[in-house]
Structure 1
Amino acid sequence: MLHSQSVLSDAHILIVDDQPDQLRLLIDVLRNAGCRISIAFDGSQAYQRALAISPDLILMDVRMPRMSGFAACRLLADTPETRAIPIIFLTAAGSLDERLEGLDIGGVDYISKPFEPAEVLARIRVHLGRATNKHGQEPAHTPVSESSGNNVIVRAAIRHLSARLNDPPTVEQLARLVGTNEKRLSRAFREDLGQTVFEYLRAERLRIAQRLLTTTSLSVANIAEEIGFSSAANFATAFRDRFGVTPSAYRDERQVQDVPPAQEPCLDRT
Structure 2
Amino acid sequence: MDDGRFEGRAVIAGGAAASPEPHILLIDDVPEDIRATIILLRQQSWRISLASDAHQGYQRALALRPDLIVLDVHMPHMNGFSLCRLLREAPATRQTPILFLSSANSSIERLEGLTVGGVDYIPKSCAPEEVLARIKIHLQLTWRAPPIAQASSAEPEPEGDEIVLRAVMRLIEEQLDDIPSLAELAQKVGTHEKRLSRIFREHLGLTVFAYIRDARLRRGQDLLAESAMSVQDVAELVGFRNACNFTTAFRQRIGMTPSQFRQQTLGIADTESAGRP
Band of TM-score, shorter chain: 0.7 to 0.9
Give yes or no for the alignment of 1:32 onto 2:11.
no
Distance 2:135 2:179 in 1: 36
Paired with 1:138 and 1:23, the residues of 2 have a C-alpha distance of 35
Change (3 A) 1:225 1:43: same
Conserved? CA contact 2:28–2:71, under 8 Å: yes
User: Structure 2 matches for 1:243-262, cutoff 5 A?
Assistant: 243-260=254-271
Are 2:236 and 1:222 equivalent residues in the alignment? no
Q: Which runs of 5+ in 2 are unaligned?
A: 1-19
Inter-partner Cα distance in structure 1 for 2:53 and 2:108: 22
Cα gap change, 1:47 to 1:262, in 2 (>3 Å): closer
SS at match of 1:90: strand
Equivalent-residue separation in structure 1 for 2:145 and 2:271 (angstroms)? 49
| Secondary structure, counterpart of 2:100 in structure 1 | strand
Q: CA deviation at 1:260?
A: 4.0
Report the counterpart of residue 210 of structure 1 in structure 2.
221
CA drift at 1:137: 8.3
Unaligned stretches of 5+ residues in structure 1: 1-8, 264-270
Q: Whole-Å Cα distance in 2 between the matches of residues 152 and 29 of structure 1?
A: 34
Match of 1:15 in 2: 26
> SS at 2:26's partner residue?
strand
Q: Hey, what does 1:50 align to over in structure 2?
A: 61
CA distance in 2, matches of 1:180, 1:243: 33
Distance 1:85 1:206 in 2: 34
Identify if the C-alpha distance between structure 1 residues 84 and 102 changes in structure 2 by more than 3 Å, giving closer, same or farther. Answer: same
User: Aligned partners of 1:146 and 1:82: how far apart in 2?
Assistant: 11
Matches within 5 A, 1:49-128: 49-128=60-139
Does the CA-based 8 Å contact 1:161-1:201 persist in structure 2?
yes
Q: Which runs of 4+ in 1 moved over 6 A?
A: 134-142
Which among 190, 197, 201 is matched to residue 179 of structure 1? Answer: 190
TM-score by length of 2: 0.80
Deviation at 1:81, TM superposition (A): 0.7
Q: Aligned letter for 2:95?
A: A
Q: Percent identity?
A: 48
CA distance in 2, matches of 1:145, 1:20: 33
Q: Which amino acid in structure 2 is aligned with residue 19 of structure 1?
A: V
Corresponding residue for 2:163? 152
Moved more, 61-70 or 217-226: 217-226
CA distance in structure 1 between the aligned counterparts of 2:178 and 2:56, rounded to whole angstroms: 30
Query: Residues 72 and 139 of structure 1: is their aligned pair in 2 closer, same or farther, counting only changes over 3 Å?
Result: farther
SS in 2 for 1:64: coil
For the pair shown, which has the larger CA radius of gyration, 1 or 2? 1
Q: Do 1:54 and 1:141's aligned partners in 2 also have CA atoms closer than 8 Å?
A: no
Taking structure 1 as the reference length, the TM-score comes to 0.82
Moved more, 234-243 or 220-229: 220-229
Once residues 209 and 51 of structure 1 are traced to their aligned partners in structure 2, the CA distance between those partners, rounded to angstroms, is: 36
Once the two structures are overlaid, the 10-residue window that deviates more, 199-208 or 88-97, is 88-97
Cα distance in 2 for residues equivalent to 1:78 and 1:259 = 39
- CA distance in 1: counterparts of 2:50 and 2:116, whole angstroms: 22
Against the structure 1 CA distance between its residues 242 and 135, is the aligned structure 2 distance closer, same or farther, given a 3 Å change threshold?
farther
Deviates more, 1:251-260 or 1:108-117: 251-260
**CA displacement at 1:135 relative to structure 2:** 7.3
1:162 pairs, out of 142, 160, 173, with 173
Count of matched residue positions in the alignment of Structure 1 and Structure 2 = 255
CA contact (8 A) 1:13 1:35 kept: yes
| Cα RMSD after superposing both structures | 3.0
Distance 2:112 2:95 in 1: 18
- Report the CA distance between 1:169 and its aligned residue: 0.7
SS in 2 for 1:168: coil
